[in-house]
Amino acid sequence: MEAVAKTPEREAFYRRIDGENLSALWNVMGDLITPEPKSACRPHLWKFDAVRAYMIEAGKLITAKEAERRVLILENPGLRGQSKVTTSLYAGIQLVLPGDVAPAHRHSQSALRFILDGKGAFTTVAGEKTLMAPGDFVITPSMAWHDHGNETSEPMFWLDGLDIPMVQFFDASFAEGSNEDRQKITKPAGDSFARYGRNLLPIDEKRSSKTSPIFNYPYSHSREALEQARVREEWDACHGLKLKFANPETGDFAMPTIGTFIQLLPKGFKTARYRSTDATVFTAIEGKGRTRIGDKTFEWGPRDLFVVPSWHWVTHEADEDAVLFSFSDRAVQQKLDLFREDRGNA
Protein backbone atom coordinates (compact mmCIF):
# COMPACT_ATOMS: atom_id res chain seq x y z
CA MET A 1 0.00 0.00 0.00
CA GLU A 2 1.28 3.47 -0.92
CA ALA A 3 1.70 6.27 1.59
CA VAL A 4 -1.03 8.89 1.25
CA ALA A 5 0.26 12.35 0.23
CA LYS A 6 0.45 15.10 2.84
CA THR A 7 -1.35 18.40 2.26
CA PRO A 8 -1.70 21.36 4.64
CA GLU A 9 -5.47 20.74 4.88
CA ARG A 10 -4.95 17.05 5.70
CA GLU A 11 -2.26 17.81 8.29
CA ALA A 12 -4.53 20.34 9.98
CA PHE A 13 -7.36 17.80 9.95
CA TYR A 14 -5.16 15.11 11.57
CA ARG A 15 -4.18 17.57 14.32
CA ARG A 16 -7.80 18.42 15.06
CA ILE A 17 -9.01 14.81 15.26
CA ASP A 18 -5.94 13.85 17.31
CA GLY A 19 -7.37 15.87 20.20
CA GLU A 20 -10.47 13.66 20.07
CA ASN A 21 -8.47 10.41 20.23
CA LEU A 22 -9.13 9.70 16.58
CA SER A 23 -6.69 8.90 13.80
CA ALA A 24 -6.92 8.25 10.06
CA LEU A 25 -6.65 4.61 9.00
CA TRP A 26 -5.28 5.55 5.56
CA ASN A 27 -2.01 6.74 7.17
CA VAL A 28 -1.30 3.49 9.00
CA MET A 29 -3.03 0.79 7.01
CA GLY A 30 0.16 -0.38 5.27
CA ASP A 31 1.82 -1.01 8.65
CA LEU A 32 -1.20 -2.87 10.00
CA ILE A 33 -1.91 -5.14 7.04
CA THR A 34 1.46 -6.30 5.76
CA PRO A 35 1.65 -8.60 2.71
CA GLU A 36 3.90 -10.90 4.73
CA PRO A 37 4.82 -11.20 8.43
CA LYS A 38 7.00 -8.28 9.46
CA SER A 39 8.42 -8.61 12.95
CA ALA A 40 10.82 -6.75 15.22
CA CYS A 41 11.88 -10.23 16.42
CA ARG A 42 15.41 -11.07 15.23
CA PRO A 43 17.36 -14.31 14.75
CA HIS A 44 19.78 -14.84 17.62
CA LEU A 45 21.93 -17.50 19.30
CA TRP A 46 23.00 -17.71 22.94
CA LYS A 47 26.01 -19.89 23.72
CA PHE A 48 25.11 -21.88 26.83
CA ASP A 49 28.63 -21.72 28.28
CA ALA A 50 28.48 -17.92 28.38
CA VAL A 51 25.01 -17.94 29.97
CA ARG A 52 26.13 -20.62 32.40
CA ALA A 53 29.04 -18.49 33.66
CA TYR A 54 26.67 -15.56 34.35
CA MET A 55 24.23 -17.89 36.07
CA ILE A 56 26.96 -19.15 38.41
CA GLU A 57 27.65 -15.49 39.25
CA ALA A 58 23.93 -14.94 39.84
CA GLY A 59 24.02 -17.93 42.17
CA LYS A 60 26.44 -16.01 44.40
CA LEU A 61 24.45 -12.77 44.18
CA ILE A 62 21.00 -13.99 45.13
CA THR A 63 19.27 -17.00 46.63
CA ALA A 64 16.45 -18.74 44.76
CA LYS A 65 14.19 -17.87 47.68
CA GLU A 66 14.90 -14.15 47.55
CA ALA A 67 14.68 -14.07 43.75
CA GLU A 68 11.62 -16.38 43.85
CA ARG A 69 13.12 -17.82 40.67
CA ARG A 70 16.82 -17.43 39.81
CA VAL A 71 16.47 -16.84 36.10
CA LEU A 72 18.24 -14.89 33.38
CA ILE A 73 15.79 -13.91 30.67
CA LEU A 74 16.67 -14.59 27.02
CA GLU A 75 15.71 -11.25 25.52
CA ASN A 76 15.34 -11.07 21.79
CA PRO A 77 17.74 -8.35 20.53
CA GLY A 78 14.86 -6.80 18.54
CA LEU A 79 12.54 -6.77 21.58
CA ARG A 80 14.83 -5.56 24.40
CA GLY A 81 13.25 -4.55 27.68
CA GLN A 82 10.08 -6.53 27.06
CA SER A 83 11.10 -9.91 28.51
CA LYS A 84 10.29 -11.58 25.20
CA VAL A 85 12.22 -14.15 23.19
CA THR A 86 9.65 -13.84 20.38
CA THR A 87 6.62 -11.56 20.04
CA SER A 88 4.41 -14.11 21.81
CA LEU A 89 6.79 -16.09 24.03
CA TYR A 90 9.10 -15.74 27.00
CA ALA A 91 12.24 -17.80 27.59
CA GLY A 92 14.77 -17.89 30.40
CA ILE A 93 17.54 -20.00 31.88
CA GLN A 94 16.93 -21.09 35.45
CA LEU A 95 19.56 -22.24 37.92
CA VAL A 96 18.57 -24.37 40.92
CA LEU A 97 21.55 -24.87 43.23
CA PRO A 98 21.91 -27.68 45.80
CA GLY A 99 19.73 -26.75 48.79
CA ASP A 100 17.77 -24.05 46.92
CA VAL A 101 14.10 -23.50 47.59
CA ALA A 102 12.16 -21.90 44.73
CA PRO A 103 8.95 -21.37 46.73
CA ALA A 104 5.45 -22.49 45.73
CA HIS A 105 3.37 -20.13 43.64
CA ARG A 106 0.87 -20.33 40.81
CA HIS A 107 -0.20 -18.17 37.89
CA SER A 108 -2.27 -18.05 34.71
CA GLN A 109 0.82 -18.38 32.55
CA SER A 110 1.69 -21.94 31.46
CA ALA A 111 5.33 -22.96 31.74
CA LEU A 112 7.57 -25.59 30.23
CA ARG A 113 10.96 -26.71 31.49
CA PHE A 114 13.50 -28.36 29.23
CA ILE A 115 16.39 -29.70 31.29
CA LEU A 116 19.82 -28.65 30.01
CA ASP A 117 22.32 -29.70 32.67
CA GLY A 118 22.38 -31.47 36.05
CA LYS A 119 20.43 -34.48 37.22
CA GLY A 120 18.02 -35.22 40.05
CA ALA A 121 16.70 -31.77 41.04
CA PHE A 122 12.92 -31.72 41.40
CA THR A 123 9.82 -29.76 40.66
CA THR A 124 6.54 -30.39 42.41
CA VAL A 125 3.45 -29.59 40.32
CA ALA A 126 -0.09 -29.90 41.69
CA GLY A 127 1.00 -32.24 44.48
CA GLU A 128 3.28 -34.54 42.43
CA LYS A 129 7.04 -34.40 42.69
CA THR A 130 9.22 -35.35 39.74
CA LEU A 131 13.00 -35.70 39.54
CA MET A 132 14.43 -34.32 36.32
CA ALA A 133 17.29 -35.23 33.97
CA PRO A 134 18.78 -33.62 30.83
CA GLY A 135 16.38 -33.68 27.88
CA ASP A 136 13.26 -34.08 30.03
CA PHE A 137 10.32 -31.88 29.01
CA VAL A 138 8.24 -30.91 32.04
CA ILE A 139 4.97 -28.96 32.08
CA THR A 140 3.52 -26.57 34.66
CA PRO A 141 -0.12 -26.01 33.62
CA SER A 142 -1.93 -22.69 34.07
CA MET A 143 -2.79 -22.05 37.77
CA ALA A 144 -1.03 -25.21 39.02
CA TRP A 145 0.96 -24.76 42.23
CA HIS A 146 4.66 -25.37 41.62
CA ASP A 147 7.89 -25.23 43.58
CA HIS A 148 11.39 -26.40 42.74
CA GLY A 149 14.34 -27.70 44.76
CA ASN A 150 17.59 -29.58 44.46
CA GLU A 151 18.63 -32.23 46.97
CA THR A 152 21.62 -33.34 44.90
CA SER A 153 25.18 -31.97 45.09
CA GLU A 154 25.16 -30.59 41.51
CA PRO A 155 23.60 -27.41 40.10
CA MET A 156 20.73 -27.87 37.69
CA PHE A 157 20.08 -25.63 34.68
CA TRP A 158 16.98 -25.65 32.59
CA LEU A 159 15.26 -23.68 29.85
CA ASP A 160 11.96 -22.08 30.92
CA GLY A 161 9.38 -21.32 28.20
CA LEU A 162 6.24 -19.41 29.14
CA ASP A 163 3.30 -17.84 27.30
CA ILE A 164 3.77 -14.58 29.26
CA PRO A 165 3.41 -12.19 26.27
CA MET A 166 0.19 -13.92 25.17
CA VAL A 167 -1.34 -13.65 28.64
CA GLN A 168 -0.16 -10.03 28.76
CA PHE A 169 -1.80 -9.34 25.37
CA PHE A 170 -5.13 -10.64 26.69
CA ASP A 171 -4.76 -8.87 30.09
CA ALA A 172 -5.56 -12.20 31.72
CA SER A 173 -2.82 -12.57 34.35
CA PHE A 174 -3.54 -13.85 37.86
CA ALA A 175 -0.87 -14.97 40.31
CA GLU A 176 -0.72 -16.13 43.89
CA GLY A 177 2.03 -16.97 46.38
CA SER A 178 1.78 -19.62 49.06
CA ASN A 179 2.41 -19.40 52.83
CA GLU A 180 4.36 -22.60 52.46
CA ASP A 181 7.65 -22.70 50.51
CA ARG A 182 7.00 -26.31 49.57
CA GLN A 183 3.54 -27.49 48.73
CA LYS A 184 2.24 -30.73 50.22
CA ILE A 185 2.98 -33.81 48.17
CA THR A 186 -0.36 -35.57 47.68
CA LYS A 187 0.49 -38.04 44.91
CA PRO A 188 3.12 -40.78 44.62
CA ALA A 189 6.07 -40.20 42.28
CA GLY A 190 5.22 -41.25 38.71
CA ASP A 191 1.46 -40.97 39.34
CA SER A 192 0.57 -38.98 36.22
CA PHE A 193 2.63 -41.23 33.97
CA ALA A 194 1.18 -44.38 35.56
CA ARG A 195 -2.36 -43.10 34.95
CA TYR A 196 -2.00 -41.53 31.52
CA GLY A 197 1.24 -42.76 29.96
CA ARG A 198 0.08 -46.21 28.82
CA ASN A 199 -2.51 -45.47 26.12
CA LEU A 200 -5.23 -46.41 28.59
CA LEU A 201 -7.57 -43.78 30.01
CA PRO A 202 -10.29 -43.99 32.65
CA ILE A 203 -13.56 -44.23 30.66
CA ASP A 204 -15.67 -41.72 32.57
CA GLU A 205 -13.14 -39.22 33.79
CA LYS A 206 -13.99 -35.61 32.99
CA ARG A 207 -10.84 -33.53 33.14
CA SER A 208 -11.41 -29.87 32.46
CA SER A 209 -7.75 -28.95 31.84
CA LYS A 210 -6.57 -28.49 28.26
CA THR A 211 -3.01 -29.34 29.34
CA SER A 212 -1.66 -32.87 29.04
CA PRO A 213 -2.17 -34.91 32.23
CA ILE A 214 1.42 -36.17 31.78
CA PHE A 215 3.74 -33.52 33.16
CA ASN A 216 7.17 -35.09 32.71
CA TYR A 217 8.04 -36.45 29.25
CA PRO A 218 11.41 -38.09 30.06
CA TYR A 219 14.19 -37.85 27.52
CA SER A 220 14.77 -41.61 27.60
CA HIS A 221 11.30 -42.03 26.03
CA SER A 222 11.65 -39.17 23.53
CA ARG A 223 15.06 -40.43 22.44
CA GLU A 224 13.76 -43.97 22.01
CA ALA A 225 10.83 -42.73 19.90
CA LEU A 226 13.29 -40.91 17.63
CA GLU A 227 15.55 -43.95 17.45
CA GLN A 228 12.61 -46.24 16.53
CA ALA A 229 11.58 -43.81 13.81
CA ARG A 230 15.14 -43.61 12.51
CA VAL A 231 15.04 -47.33 11.69
CA ARG A 232 12.25 -46.59 9.19
CA GLU A 233 14.34 -43.83 7.60
CA GLU A 234 11.27 -41.71 6.90
CA TRP A 235 13.26 -38.51 6.74
CA ASP A 236 11.40 -35.29 6.15
CA ALA A 237 13.36 -33.04 3.81
CA CYS A 238 12.68 -29.92 5.94
CA HIS A 239 12.82 -31.39 9.45
CA GLY A 240 14.84 -34.62 9.46
CA LEU A 241 12.65 -36.47 11.90
CA LYS A 242 10.44 -34.20 13.98
CA LEU A 243 7.82 -35.21 16.55
CA LYS A 244 5.43 -33.12 18.59
CA PHE A 245 4.81 -33.76 22.28
CA ALA A 246 1.15 -34.79 22.47
CA ASN A 247 -1.61 -34.71 25.04
CA PRO A 248 -2.68 -38.40 25.27
CA GLU A 249 -6.30 -37.38 25.91
CA THR A 250 -6.70 -35.35 22.73
CA GLY A 251 -3.75 -35.93 20.41
CA ASP A 252 -3.35 -32.15 20.42
CA PHE A 253 -0.20 -30.37 21.59
CA ALA A 254 0.78 -31.14 25.18
CA MET A 255 0.15 -27.52 26.20
CA PRO A 256 -2.78 -25.32 25.08
CA THR A 257 -0.70 -22.26 24.22
CA ILE A 258 2.72 -23.67 23.31
CA GLY A 259 3.64 -26.34 20.76
CA THR A 260 6.69 -28.40 21.77
CA PHE A 261 8.79 -30.57 19.48
CA ILE A 262 11.77 -32.89 19.44
CA GLN A 263 13.71 -33.67 16.30
CA LEU A 264 16.59 -35.82 15.14
CA LEU A 265 19.01 -34.67 12.47
CA PRO A 266 21.35 -37.51 11.53
CA LYS A 267 25.04 -36.85 10.93
CA GLY A 268 25.58 -35.12 7.60
CA PHE A 269 21.89 -34.28 7.06
CA LYS A 270 21.12 -30.88 5.59
CA THR A 271 17.50 -29.81 5.62
CA ALA A 272 15.66 -28.20 2.71
CA ARG A 273 14.64 -24.61 3.37
CA TYR A 274 11.48 -24.07 5.39
CA ARG A 275 9.59 -21.13 6.82
CA SER A 276 6.52 -20.86 9.02
CA THR A 277 4.55 -18.20 10.87
CA ASP A 278 5.42 -19.57 14.31
CA ALA A 279 8.61 -17.95 15.58
CA THR A 280 10.47 -20.81 17.30
CA VAL A 281 12.98 -21.24 20.12
CA PHE A 282 15.43 -24.14 19.68
CA THR A 283 17.98 -25.80 21.90
CA ALA A 284 20.29 -28.70 21.12
CA ILE A 285 20.44 -31.54 23.58
CA GLU A 286 22.90 -33.68 21.61
CA GLY A 287 25.24 -33.15 18.70
CA LYS A 288 26.40 -30.10 16.86
CA GLY A 289 25.78 -28.33 13.62
CA ARG A 290 24.64 -25.04 12.19
CA THR A 291 21.42 -23.32 11.33
CA ARG A 292 20.97 -20.70 8.66
CA ILE A 293 18.21 -18.20 9.43
CA GLY A 294 17.64 -15.66 6.65
CA ASP A 295 21.16 -14.50 5.79
CA LYS A 296 22.75 -15.39 9.15
CA THR A 297 24.42 -18.67 10.14
CA PHE A 298 24.63 -19.86 13.75
CA GLU A 299 26.91 -22.66 14.94
CA TRP A 300 25.47 -24.66 17.81
CA GLY A 301 26.41 -27.47 20.17
CA PRO A 302 24.74 -29.05 23.18
CA ARG A 303 22.62 -26.64 25.28
CA ASP A 304 23.10 -23.64 22.97
CA LEU A 305 19.85 -21.78 22.26
CA PHE A 306 18.63 -19.97 19.18
CA VAL A 307 15.50 -18.25 17.96
CA VAL A 308 13.96 -18.28 14.48
CA PRO A 309 11.55 -15.39 13.84
CA SER A 310 8.29 -15.78 11.93
CA TRP A 311 8.56 -16.33 8.17
CA HIS A 312 12.38 -16.49 8.01
CA TRP A 313 13.87 -19.19 5.80
CA VAL A 314 15.61 -21.85 7.92
CA THR A 315 17.98 -24.70 7.11
CA HIS A 316 19.71 -26.97 9.60
CA GLU A 317 22.86 -29.00 9.05
CA ALA A 318 24.18 -31.62 11.49
CA ASP A 319 27.90 -32.49 11.83
CA GLU A 320 27.01 -35.32 14.24
CA ASP A 321 23.73 -37.00 15.11
CA ALA A 322 21.87 -34.09 16.69
CA VAL A 323 18.68 -33.76 18.71
CA LEU A 324 16.89 -30.41 18.88
CA PHE A 325 14.08 -29.44 21.24
CA SER A 326 11.91 -26.52 20.14
CA PHE A 327 8.80 -24.61 21.12
CA SER A 328 6.54 -22.04 19.49
CA ASP A 329 3.04 -20.57 19.57
CA ARG A 330 1.87 -22.98 16.84
CA ALA A 331 -0.67 -24.52 19.23
CA VAL A 332 -2.51 -21.19 19.25
CA GLN A 333 -1.97 -20.19 15.63
CA GLN A 334 -3.42 -23.48 14.37
CA LYS A 335 -6.56 -23.07 16.48
CA LEU A 336 -7.03 -19.55 15.12
CA ASP A 337 -6.45 -20.61 11.49
CA LEU A 338 -3.41 -18.33 11.34
CA PHE A 339 -0.64 -20.89 10.97
CA ARG A 340 1.06 -21.00 7.59
CA GLU A 341 4.17 -22.85 6.43
CA ASP A 342 6.21 -22.91 3.24
CA ARG A 343 8.35 -25.93 2.40
CA GLY A 344 10.09 -24.24 -0.50
CA ASN A 345 10.02 -26.87 -3.22
CA ALA A 346 10.60 -29.82 -0.87
Which stretches of the chain bind ligand 1HN, using CB under 6 A?
A: 69, 71, 92, 94, 107, 109, 111, 146, 148, 160, 162, 164
Shortest distance, position 175 Cβ to ligand 1HN, whole Å? 8
What lies within 8 Å, CB to CB, of 78 at 6+ separation is 39, 40, 41, 42, 309
CB of 244 to ligand 1HN, least distance (A): 23
Residue 50 Cβ, how far from ligand 1HN at the closest point, in Å? 20
Closest approach, Cβ 87 to ligand 1HN, in A, equals 17
CB closer to ligand 1HN, 92 vs 218: 92
Which residues are registered as beta bridge partners of 148?
A: 102, 123
Q: Which one, 89 or 323, has the nearer CB to ligand 1HN?
A: 89
Nearer to ligand 1HN, 102 or 314 (CB): 102
DSSP H or E stretch at residue 228? helix 219-232
User: Please, which residue, 106 or 312, has the CB nearer to ligand 1HN?
Assistant: 106
Nearer Cβ to ligand 1HN (164/284): 164
Strand order in the sheet with 128-131: 128-131, 122-125, 146-149, 101-107, 175-177
Of the candidates 279, 271, 268, 278, which has an alpha carbon nearest to the alpha carbon of residue 319?
268
Smallest separation, CB 222 to ligand 1HN (Å): 21
Q: What is the side-by-side strand order in the sheet with 90-96?
A: 71-73, 90-96, 156-162, 111-117, 137-140, 216-217
Q: Output b/e per residue, 150-164; b: 16+ Cβ within 10 A.
A: bebeebbbbbbbbbb
> CB of 107: closest distance to ligand 1HN in angstroms?
6
> What's the closest the beta carbon of residue 23 comes to ligand 1HN, in angstroms?
34
> By 3-state DSSP, what share of the chain in percent is helix, strand and coil, each rounded to 5?
20, 30, 50
Shorter beta-carbon distance to ligand 1HN: residue 132 or 164: 164
Q: b or e along 123-132 (b: 16 or more beta carbons within 10 Å of the residue's beta carbon)?
A: bbbbebbbbb
Beta carbon of residue 90, minimum distance to ligand 1HN (angstroms, whole number)? 6
Task: Compute CA 119 distance to the chain's CA centroid, rounded to the nearest angstrom.
Answer: 21
CA distance 74 to 84: 7
Give 148 or 316: the residue with its C-beta nearer to ligand 1HN: 148
Distances (CA, A) of 184 to 113, 124, 128: 21, 9, 9
Residue 85: which residues within 8 A CB-CB, separation 6 or more? Answer: 74, 75, 76, 79, 91, 281, 307
Q: Which lies closer to ligand 1HN via its Cβ, residue 92 or residue 141?
A: 92
Burial class (CB within 10 angstroms; exposed 0-12, middle 13-18, buried 19+) of 67: middle
Q: How far apart are CA 113 and CA 276, in angstroms?
A: 24
Quote the least distance from Cβ 190 to ligand 1HN, whole Å: 21
Which of 147, 286 has the CB closer to ligand 1HN? 147
